[in-house]
Structure formats: C-alpha cells, structure tokens
Amino acid sequence: MTTSIQRERREPPLGGFNLTFLAIEIRRLIRNRRTVLLTVVVPVALFLLFKANRRLSGGATAIFGPAYVMVGIAVYGAMLAATAGGARVTIERALGWSRQLRLTPLRPAAYIAIKLITAMLLGVVSVGVVFAMGSIDGVDLPIGTWLATGLLAWITALVFASFGLFLGYLLPSENAMQIIGPILGVFSLIGGLFVPLSLMPDLVQQIAPYTPTFGVVEIARYPLLGGAFDPTWLLSVIGWTALFAIAAAFLFRRDTRRT
C-alpha cells in the first residue's frame, strides 16, 4: 500500500506540470517590477538611441533602415526578457526553494517547461513595446509583415529563455545579471542584431553562424527581407534551445539533490 502511494506521488501526470503552478509563477513574475521594467526600459532606450543616430546622420542608410533596426531591437528585447525571466531561478536557489522542490513529485522537465513559459511571457511584452515604438516612429510595414516579424522574434527567443535557466542554475545569484548582460551584448554584436554582418570584420562574419543569436535574428527578419530561407537558421534555434534546456534540467536535478 505504501509503495503504491509513493509511486503515485513520484509519477504525477505530465511530471507535475499543472495550470495552478503555472498561474502562481506568472503572478510571481508580474510582481517582480524590477525585471518587468528592465525588459521594457532597455529596449526602448536602445530604440531611442538608434532614432537619434538616424537623425544625426540624416536618416536611414541605404544598407539598413528603421524597420531592419526595429526588428533587431525587438529580438534583443525578447532575448533580454527571456534570459532575465529564466535567470530568476537564482533567487529561488538563494532562498532554498530548489531544495524544497525535491520533497515534491515535480519532474525536472515539467519545472523547466513552466519556467520557460513564464520567461517567454516577458519576451512578448518586450517585443510589443518595441513594435509600438516603431509604429509611433513611422515604421510602415504591411500588417502581415508586422505580425510575422513580431511572432518570430518572440518565438525564437525561446533559445534565451532556456539560456537564462541554464545560467540561473550555473551562476551564483549575486553575479547572475552582471554576467548575463555582457554575454548578451557580445551575442548581439556578433549575431548582427543592430548592424548587418556584411559591415562587420571577416572574423566576426565567420563566427556569427555558430552563435545562438544568428538563427534567431535571421528568422525574425526573414518576412522583412525575403529571399531564400536557410534551414540552418532553424537548426541553430532548435539545437541551442535543446542544448540549454537539457543543461538546465541537469543542473536543476543536481541542485535539488544537494543536502
């Protein structure tokens, strides 16, 4: 009888994934004003900075224009929001919450899935704010292009939601955001989020396809730029997402087994 009860507790449906737990996580996310403001203020500040630069230079260049930059900033905002949302687990680790979870039947995959969903909610807010700023600034695109670029910028940010979880379990809480910020900055520069890779040095152009940001921004800009779709972009997004998610699940399992 006892063995049967224990087995039932250890193997809940969907590994413990449920809407109640998800709703609790969403409420906790909304209450974290610092994280929410970060995901809105930073992308808007970048947008205004690029807008000022366009005015100083007499408008958009012939190589890339406001819509191109807007999508790049939206991708950056989504990846910043998703990474910050995922990295919030550092706070839970510091409070001992991860260790408490080992007393529950929650499976690592279910926990990671819930964290990814809540992190992605921050991403959609960031993309929406940047696109709203672009519309106010005069970016004129067909409605289909608006929807496609925004949706792709948000969905592909799943890479960085899993990346944030991975770093959240890898880094101590007091150093997480100080390390995450510069890493995302390097990824953005090398990945071509703000400046076309054709304007970057040859070494950067050779490294770019192997970074997590490359496939993300290329897919997000595809409805805007058109041309041939490169399947390696999608493989990059899937591969990096899976790699970070698996690593996060492994670190979560290790963390909850500590005494």
- Integer-rounded Cα Rg, in Å, for the chain is 20
Residue 8: inside a domain: no
pLDDT-wise least confident of 1-5, 67-71, 85-89, 238-242: 1-5
Residue 1: inside a domain: no
Q: Which domain holds residue 209?
A: 18-256
Residue 12: inside a domain: no
Identify the residue with better confidence: 248 or 90. Answer: 248
What pLDDT is stored for residue 98 in this prediction? 62
Summarised one tens digit per residue, pLDDT across range 113-171 is 887 888 888 888 889 999 999 998 888 899 999 999 999 999 999 899 889 888 888 87
Q: How far apart are CA 222 and CA 185, in angstroms?
A: 22
Residue 81: inside a domain: yes
Q: How many domains does the chain have?
A: 1
Sequence-ordered alpha helix ranges (H) in 137-193: 143-155, 158-170, 176-191
Confidence band, pLDDT 50/70/90 cuts, at residue 13: low
Residue 2: inside a domain: no
Residue 110: inside a domain: yes
Residue 9: inside a domain: no
For the cut 60, the answer to whether the pLDDT of residue 2 exceeds it is no
Confidence band, pLDDT 50/70/90 cuts, at residue 51: confident
8-state DSSP, 136: H
For the cut 50, the answer to whether the pLDDT of residue 59 exceeds it is no
Residue 193: inside a domain: yes
